Structure 1
Amino acid sequence: MSLCVLEFNDTGLALGDERSLCPSSPGYANIGREPVLIGAAAQAQARIDPRQTLNQFWMRLGTEPLHHARALARHHADLAYLHLLQLHEEAGKPDELIFAVPGSFSKEQLAILLGIAQRCPFRAAGLVDAALAAASSVPIADSALHLDLQLHQCVLTRLVREGDTLQRVGVRVLPGTGLLQMQERWARHVAAEFIQQTRFDPLHSAATEQQLYDQMPQWLDILNQQSDVGAGLLNGGNSYHAKLRVADMLEAVRPLYLQLSEALAADSGTLLLSPRIARLPRIGQFLGAATALEPGAVTRACLRHAAIIRCDDQALRFVTRLPAQPVPSGSVAPDPARPQASVNHAPAVVPSHLVLGARAWRLAPGCLYLHRDERANWQLSRRALDHATLVLSWEANAWWVSSVNGTTVQVDGVTLQRSLRVSAGTRINLPDHGDTGMRLIVEESVTGNGA
């Protein structure tokens, strides 16, 4: 029985096994034709036929009716179904698929995805977080941040290592920083260069606009290695050429690159870049020290851990923990060299205990998870249980708090959006659990329950 891995990312869904990967298929659909065009064929018509082209059906996966519904395309879930059928056909009709999904998918979207899969001529055999799978392919000493690029947004996933296990502990979506937003900025700049250098506007015609977008990836790849590239476009039998400089192309997307840099500034840990975001021209100049993951890392990791991810039950469990790669002896956790936000803070006092009511837990370096036991009493332990609410992790000589399992966590009255460094005096609340109030203190004489 054949087993393949399907990595979900709307810049290009990738389906493959240990031998090969099929060409990735972007999340585009053109509903103005019968049959509906899906993937690369629809992307090739996106600028020519924009009103009939949809590219949000994976990000907005659901059953809300489309404005221009068709018999085979009533809602985004129908388009996702057609995309899955096409991918399955192109891959040679494998029997089973492991789904590697982005952290941006909600629980409702995961349920819809599995419902769609039940209608498909293959069996969904496993469900795993794609960033976790990718990160499990490289050694991580303490913690990591995985940054990935989608069509309409970027996704930042926080992972922590506990013993021999790597776990996803947080996900942050960065809207408006996707590939399409970057391409639109580059397209406007390229058009301005053609107008200035040749008096030809490639955005004046849908055909040449499509041609510009089709060739853009090749130009960007060259600019990742060179300071300029010669761009050429054809129109009505005429050929137009313009020189594009990497400095100008970077300036066009600087606001978006800076958004990504600022999102990383408050966090620590090894920075991992997906192949998609690592391909962006000179992105490393803005994000600092990072490890670029290899193409196919998700597929290989899923197959390597297939015994853990694969499930024979009808109801799949969502895997957010996997075995971690061994860290070479003598190695140390990287000191993140990413640019930091220039904000002045008072010196932070490292807390020694977490206090909840009359209880106090000593904070010992590592990862500490807060959860309720079978008697509904709060416990702080090193066990990464499925019903844990938050994790306190010791990194870079500081304590960091992260939400887990979708729990709403408030730190000093502000809802936590990503991992946050905390100090003595910090107050933590869990509104979903009766607004449980906790505080971090420094008090060496306190008598409490060590984690």
Structure 2
Amino acid sequence: MSTAFIELNDSGILCRHGDVTIVTPGCALLTKKGIITGEQALQQAWLLPQQAYNQYWHQLNLSPLAATSKYARHHADLAYAQLQALYESAGRPEEVVFAVPGNVSNDQLSVLLGLVKASAFTAAGLVDAGVAAASLAGATGRVLHVDMQMHTAVVTELDCSDMVARRRASQYPELALKGFFDIWAGHIANRFIEEYRYDPLHTAAGEQQLRDLLPDFVAKLVAQPELEIELTANRGNFRLNILRSELLAASHARWQHLIETMGRLPAADVLLLSHRVAVLPGVDDVAQAIALPTVALSAEAAVAACQRHLSYIVDDRTSLGFITALPVASDAAALPSVASPPTVGSALEAVPTHVLYDNTAYPVASVLAVMWRDGALQMTGDQPLSAVFGREGVAGFALRRNADSTSLYIERETEAVQCSGNAKCLKVGDTLVFRGQSVTLIEVH
């Protein structure tokens, strides 16, 4: 039986089925011809705000929409449409294991299972996404897992030994991803007003353009002190240089709120950050203020864990409960002890810990394979290089960390990789280009 794995986070729903991996935002557009979901809907969300919806996963229920149509009466109909689109794009899996945020209520789980019952696939498992991701991290003791969704943030308190078990999950709507990006969009718009008397938020087309650019712009600004942004308007093209420090100042109050929130929680030994949190400007200040060993998890941590633990998840197919405890993966990388936290070198000597590509940071543990597939780059650290590059027609390269983690270098190039630095001793900020696709090497504490 073919099994797909879906992590339901409305900022980017991730689906893996075999060799197919899809990431799509939780956004829907209600049109006269039907329901459009995902990236296609997001690219029109500010152009057609009265037809756009992005709260249907956060508020998964059967309450009537303000403006109903024959295609959608409530949020559940919009969620169902997106599930069907994923089902088709993923190659029609027979069953799905869902990794869901810890703030999802029992009523919402019931609605989700109702949607599955009306679908051509079955639900093989329901797993807490924070528990799943932490099971691959190698953390021990009391652990805090922080993740963000479009409309809220979730902090999950975990006990980690041979098993990763959830103690409590708390949500904080005031720390939602949408809030951060609204603040940054507003700040950048004010800069354009000051410089050019042009307000990109004054028109639907201007706001759509800024919103389309913002995620990638913010992700790149994590690794650079300053970056140019350009907008096109009827009066011409407008360019601005935005400092990373500007975005830090704009969002300082929100980060401070997270620090204060974490301070009120029971003492912990390790902090785990989802990739959504780890790539935001300012998160490193949070990690330093909390003073815990901090690990940034990969974008596919939750679904990779569900795939790894599939036999455990589906052990009892006669009942389908919400799993909030999983075994620690046998090959999970051990973290440094709390008594000896990792040392941080100077910026000039910093060894990259992650590869930033397409708004996602991928961790480099010992080795990371970077493969070319369907016009884009795909990362994997789960397979031996001999297996990855032993397949016929596979193109790409690998990044390897030496035994004492003091250097990172390129190996296994199937063709030339353009490198802005020294390929034998890569540093934070170096850019690698393969077949026109670029990645940036960054450090996440």
TM score, norm. by length of structure 2: 0.72
Indicate the residue corresponding to 1:114 in structure 2.
Answer: 113
Offset, 1:300: 1.2
SS of the residue 2:251 aligns to: helix
CA distance 1:313–1:195, change in 2 (3 Å):
same
Indicate the residue corresponding to 1:303 in structure 2.
Answer: 307
CA distance 1:319–1:69, change in 2 (3 Å):
same
Offset, 1:179: 1.3
CA distance 1:144–1:35, change in 2 (3 Å):
same
For 2:4, the aligned partner's letter is: C
Offset, 1:262: 1.3
For 1:300, the aligned partner's letter is: A
Indicate the residue corresponding to 1:6 in structure 2.
Answer: 6
Contact 1:77 1:112 in 2 (8 A): yes
SS of the residue 1:73 aligns to: coil
Offset, 1:170: 0.3
SS of the residue 2:46 aligns to: coil
Indicate the residue corresponding to 1:193 in structure 2.
Answer: 191
Contact 1:146 1:158 in 2 (8 A): yes
Contact 1:223 1:246 in 2 (8 A): yes
Of structures 1 and 2, the larger Rg is shown by 1
For 2:12, the aligned partner's letter is: G
Q: Give runs of aligned pairs for residues 127-146 of structure 1, distance below 5 A.
A: 127-146=126-145
Indicate the residue corresponding to 1:278 in structure 2.
Answer: 278
Contact 1:30 1:38 in 2 (8 A): yes
CA distance 1:14–1:323, change in 2 (3 Å):
same
For 1:332, the aligned partner's letter is: S
Contact 2:28 2:36 in 1 (8 A): yes
Offset, 1:91: 0.8
CA RMSD of aligned residues (A): 2.0
CA distance 1:328–1:227, change in 2 (3 Å):
closer
Offset, 1:137: 0.4
CA distance 1:312–1:139, change in 2 (3 Å):
closer
Offset, 1:161: 2.3
Q: Give runs of aligned pairs for residues 244-393 of structure 1, distance below 5 A.
A: 244-267=242-265, 268-288=268-288, 289=292, 290-310=294-314, 313=317, 315-325=319-329, 332-333=337-338
For 1:16, the aligned partner's letter is: R
Q: Distance between the aligned counterparts of 1:274 and 1:265, measured in 2?
A: 19
Indicate the residue corresponding to 1:365 in structure 2.
Answer: none
Q: Does 1:183 align with 2:181?
A: yes
SS of the residue 1:160 aligns to: strand
Contact 2:2 2:94 in 1 (8 A): yes
Offset, 1:313: 3.3
Q: Give runs of aligned pairs for residues 14-53 of structure 1, distance below 5 A.
A: 14-17=14-17, 19-22=19-22, 24-53=23-52
For 1:120, the aligned partner's letter is: S
Q: Distance between the aligned counterparts of 1:304 and 1:16, measured in 2?
A: 13
Indicate the residue corresponding to 1:96 in structure 2.
Answer: 95
CA distance 1:195–1:15, change in 2 (3 Å):
same
Offset, 1:33: 3.5
Q: Does 1:159 align with 2:163?
A: no
Indicate the residue corresponding to 2:371 in structure 1.
Answer: none
Offset, 1:80: 0.8
SS of the residue 2:24 aligns to: coil
CA distance 1:287–1:279, change in 2 (3 Å):
same
Q: Which moved more, 1:282-291 or 1:55-64?
A: 282-291
Contact 2:96 2:124 in 1 (8 A): yes
Q: Distance between the aligned counterparts of 2:32 and 2:340, measured in 1?
A: 53
- Select 2:231's aligned residue among 230, 233, 236: 233
Cα deviation code 1:260-314 (max 9, x no counterpart)? 1111113323110011111112311123342100121111111110001125636
Q: Distance between the aligned counterparts of 2:19 and 2:153, measured in 1?
A: 29
Indicate the residue corresponding to 1:65 in structure 2.
Answer: 64
TM score, norm. by length of structure 1: 0.71
Identity of aligned residues (%): 36
For 2:142, the aligned partner's letter is: S
Q: Distance between the aligned counterparts of 2:339 and 2:86, measured in 1?
A: 39
Q: Which moved more, 1:122-131 or 1:253-262?
A: 253-262
Q: Flag structure 1 segments of 5+ consecutive residues without an equivalent.
A: 338-451
Offset, 1:335: 7.6
Indicate the residue corresponding to 1:370 in structure 2.
Answer: none
Total equivalences in the alignment: 335
Q: Distance between the aligned counterparts of 1:69 and 1:229, measured in 2?
A: 43
CA distance 1:236–1:75, change in 2 (3 Å):
same
SS of the residue 2:21 aligns to: coil
